[in-house]
């Protein structure tokens, strides 16, 4: 590997050195070509500028100055760049010819209807037209020029024309072309090569229109600024690409290209590069030979090492057997022989360590002491084999119901203990106890051919409230377990009696939940939504309540979590959909105006593919249109399976329902979710509205959400509005709808009827 890396570095350095020298040669060549192009462009611009001067003399001739013709002869003025000059009047009649000819057919062909039409439509003063050569055989570098002459009011006065000898112009740079190997070309805006000076030879006439070689001319046509850049494209018919630069003239439709063939750029480097490669090759051979020598030496040493390793392995094998026997002995001494979980000894050892760490924690630690109800009866009637199988199955369920790092142990008989660490609240501990009760009391099928049912009694002691040592916690948890056993089967109790009331209430509500749905003990309260621009009612939100026959009206914060944890939220959600549709149908029957009702849908409901079918059936059963029902989902609905949630929401939208994203800003949704999901509105959580007038951060978040929704074409709904100041602030920043106690507290359907008939709010 070292040799391979060394060779790789060597050849990388060699290739990099060659590449850098090539780049330096190209850079130097481009700098030279850029200087030559700048000089040629400046000189060509000067020659063409003289054409404008001559055109003014031609205009003086048309204006009646008889002496002006003396200054138009190229021989008289000593300007060899121009071969002939002619002046025509507005009717294209020849007025003056430096060649003393009665006719100038070459110039007369330039003055045609197309040129005149274009010039009459242009308001430029004295625009110059550089035409392709009329005769290309042998003199393609002699370029006709035409300048229309006009009066001050824009009326056409005549034409000035001349033939520019680019060959004479380029002869000045013959030495540069010969000694530097440069190729100097002059192209017009159409991509036609007007002149080409290469190795001292003059030629021209190639047409590069539409070829990659002349694409820079398209970029230069749009403006009047001169443009400069590299010219690396190959010419048509050339076997190689020339390296050079191009430069367009600022005031005239011409371009200068200065380039060199690659052999002139890299020719001097080839011998040096050949030496670099030979040196790298020689070093590579040397490295390979040295590597082979080292491999041979290493191979001999390896054979000696293998002999030593063999003897060490024999020693290690003996040591491993001793360690295995030691581990097996510790396993037998510290783990329960039947269930494989820790026994009393290991439990004390681990629990003591955990409680030592608990002294530095602010969270709760709970010790659960569990006893199986009627276990002795099962053992006596069904046999010890069934009892042992039951204990194994119970230990597996306990292990599966707790976290991986929670401690589960068997003290003996049917007594199990669990130490659960880092719990935030007593309510969460009660939820864990309820989970353990549900898990253990499920029927045990086919235990040694028998079906067995049992239930646990659990006592709970909390650290440090109920004890600060393992013994104290075990004693108190055992006492709490006997309290649970005396109260019935399948129960749990805290050692602190004050904690049992809330746990018992939760268990009582859970036991009655299914019957409460069937008995219609649940009811809906409605909170209206107001349009912030018109102050009219635009909809309402349905809120679930439990009218308990003994405890009275119970709010959802007490029973929604129970429904979520015990898979009751789906039937509860279907009851809400049916109740909302029934209420809408009743309002319609009584002649009240109908507004869309928003229903909250949980994450578990979105995973149920039957949801769109049930919504459709309820709407058809009550004869309602889909726009009277809206769905509100929270951001947490998309954590597990975004694609499934999107499909279910898409199906609801296809039915005609609208979907709003509730509690926006408090969950996990990103812009990608908003873009992918078929939502029509964002509902800002009440936590951002509460201090919107005092907390600048909340105000900025709400304003940004409104701006984002506007850009995405979504509506914005604010909930939790409790003051007029909040209402006015939301109106100013452009919020669409609001709801909250300031407008109306949630109420039953009968209390809403006056508001529904009125249809608007009075905001004084």
Of the given ranges (6-20, 331-345, 572-586), which has the lowest mean pLDDT? 331-345
CA–CA gap between residue 399 and residue 418 (Å, rounded):
9
pLDDT in tens, 121-177: 444 444 777 777 765 555 678 888 888 888 766 777 888 888 888 887 888 887 777
* 411 and 347 Cβ atoms separated by less than 8 Å: yes
CA–CA gap between residue 133 and residue 256 (Å, rounded):
17
Is the per-residue pLDDT at 93 higher than 90? no
pLDDT of residue 546: 93
Number of C-alpha atoms within 13 angstroms, CB side, residue 522?
28
Q: Which two three-digit tokens encode residue 750? A: 């009968």
Q: Which two three-digit tokens encode residue 685? A: 């959580």
- 436 versus 331: the higher-pLDDT residue is 436
Q: What is the 3-state secondary structure (H, E, C) of 31-58?
A: HHHHHHHHHHHHHHHHHHHHHHHHHHHH
Cα angle 550, 552, 555; round to 5:
130
Q: Which two three-digit tokens encode residue 725? A: 């100041």
Over residues 573-589, the mean pLDDT reads 94
Cα angle 67, 68, 69; round to 5:
90
pLDDT in tens, 185-198: 888 877 888 888 88
Over residues 329-358, the mean pLDDT reads 84
pLDDT in tens, 283-305: 999 989 998 888 889 888 888 88
pTM reported for the whole predicted model:
0.43
> What residues are paired with 415 via a beta bridge?
371, 412
Query: Distances from the Cα of 543 to the Cαs of 38, 193, 667, in angstroms?
Result: 80, 82, 21
pLDDT in tens, 606-617: 888 889 999 999
Domains, in order of start, for the chain: 7-266 (3.30.450), 344-495 (3.30.70.270), 511-757 (3.20.20.450)
H helices present in 63-183, as ranges: 74-77, 105-110, 113-121, 166-171, 174-180
**Is the bond preceding 464 in cis, omega lying within 30 degrees of 0?**
yes
pLDDT of residue 238: 59
Q: How confident is the model at residue 396 (pLDDT cuts 50, 70, 90)?
A: very high
């Amino acid at each position: 590997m070292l040799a391979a890396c060394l060779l790789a570095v060597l050849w990388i350095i060699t290739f990099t050195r060659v590449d850098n020298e090539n780049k330096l040669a190209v850079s130097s060549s481009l700098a030279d070509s850029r200087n030559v192009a700048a000089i040629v462009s400046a000189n060509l611009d000067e020659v063409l500028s003289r054409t404008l001067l001559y055109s003014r003399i031609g205009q003086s001739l048309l204006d009646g100055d008889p002496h002006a013709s003396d200054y138009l002869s190229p021989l008289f003025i000593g300007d060899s760049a121009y071969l002939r000059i002619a002046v025509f009047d507005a009717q294209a009649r020849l007025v003056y010819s430096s060649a003393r000819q009665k006719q100038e057919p070459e110039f007369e062909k330039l003055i045609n209807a197309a040129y005149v039409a274009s010039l009459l439509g242009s308001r430029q003063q004295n625009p110059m037209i550089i035409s392709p050569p009329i005769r290309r055989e042998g003199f393609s570098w002699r370029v006709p020029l035409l300048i229309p002459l006009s009066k001050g009011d824009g009326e056409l006065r005549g034409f000035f024309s001349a033939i520019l000898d680019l060959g004479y112009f380029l002869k000045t740079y013959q030495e540069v072309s010969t000694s530097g190997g440069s190729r100097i070309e002059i192209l017009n805006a159409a991509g036609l090569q007007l002149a080409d000076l290469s190795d001292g030879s003059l030629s021209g006439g190639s047409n590069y229109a539409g070829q990659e070689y002349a694409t820079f001319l398209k970029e230069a046509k749009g403006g009047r600024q001169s443009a400069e850049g590299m010219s690396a494209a190959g010419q048509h018919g050339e076997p190689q690409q020339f390296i050079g630069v191009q430069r367009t003239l600022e005031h005239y439709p011409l371009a200068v290209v200065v380039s060199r063939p690659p052999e002139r750029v890299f020719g001097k480097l080839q011998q040096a590069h050949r030496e670099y490669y030979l040196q790298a090759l020689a070093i590579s051979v040397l490295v390979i030979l040295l590597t082979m020598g080292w491999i041979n030496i290493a191979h001999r040493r390896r054979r000696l090492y293998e002999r030593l390793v063999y003897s060490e392995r024999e020693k290690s094998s003996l040591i491993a057997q001793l360690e295995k026997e030691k581990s097996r002995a510790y396993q037998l001494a510290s783990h329960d022989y039947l269930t494989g979980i820790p026994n009393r000894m290991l439990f004390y050892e681990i629990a003591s360590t955990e409680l030592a760490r608990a002294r530095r924690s602010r969270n709760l630690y709970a010790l659960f002491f569990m006893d199986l109800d009627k276990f002795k009866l099962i053992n006596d009637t069904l046999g010890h084999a069934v009892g042992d199988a039951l204990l194994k199955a119970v230990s597996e369920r306990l292990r599966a119901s707790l976290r991986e790092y929670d401690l589960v142990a068997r003290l003996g008989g049917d007594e199990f203990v669990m130490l659960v660490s880092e719990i935030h609240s007593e309510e969460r501990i009660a939820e864990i106890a309820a989970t353990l009760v549900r898990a253990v009391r499920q029927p045990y099928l086919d235990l040694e051919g028998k079906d067995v049912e049992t239930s646990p009694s659990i006592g709970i002691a909390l650290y440090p409230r109920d004890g600060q040592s393992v013994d104290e916690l075990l004693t108190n948890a055992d006492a709490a377990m006997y309290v649970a056993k005396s109260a019935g089967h399948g129960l749990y109790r805290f050692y602190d009696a004050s904690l049992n009331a809330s746990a018992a209430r939760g268990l009582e509500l859970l036991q009655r939940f299914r019957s409460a749905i069937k008995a219609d003990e649940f009811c809906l309260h409605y909170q209206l939504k107001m349009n912030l621009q018109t102050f009219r009612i635009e909809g309402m939100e349905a809120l679930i309540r439990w009218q308990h026959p003994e405890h009275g009206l119970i709010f959802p914060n007490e029973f929604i979590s129970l429904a979520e944890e015990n898979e009751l939220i789906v039937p509860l959600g279907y009851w809400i959909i049916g109740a909302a549709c029934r209420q809408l149908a009743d309002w319609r029957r009584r002649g009240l105006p109908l507004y869309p009702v928003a229903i909250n849908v949980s994450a578990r409901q979105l995973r149920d593919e039957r949801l769109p079918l049930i919504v459709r059936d309820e709407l058809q059963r009550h004869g309602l249109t889909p726009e009277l029902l809206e769905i509100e989902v929270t951001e947490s609905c998309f954590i597990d399976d975004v694609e499934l949630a999107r499909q279910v929401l898409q199906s609801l939208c296809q039915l005609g329902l609208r979907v709003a994203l509730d509690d926006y800003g408090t969950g996990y949704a990103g812009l990608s979710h908003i873009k992918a999901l078929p939502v029509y509105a964002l509902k800002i959580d009440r936590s951002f509205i509460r201090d919107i007038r005092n907390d600048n951060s909340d105000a900025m978040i709400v304003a940004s959400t409104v701006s984002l929704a506007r850009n995405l074409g979504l509506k914005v709904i604010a909930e939790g509005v409790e003051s007029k100041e909040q209402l006015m602030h939301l109106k100013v920043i452009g919020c669409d709808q609001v709801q909250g106690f300031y407008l109306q507290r949630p109420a039953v359907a009968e209390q809403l009827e006056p508001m529904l008939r009125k249809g608007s709010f009075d905001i004084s």
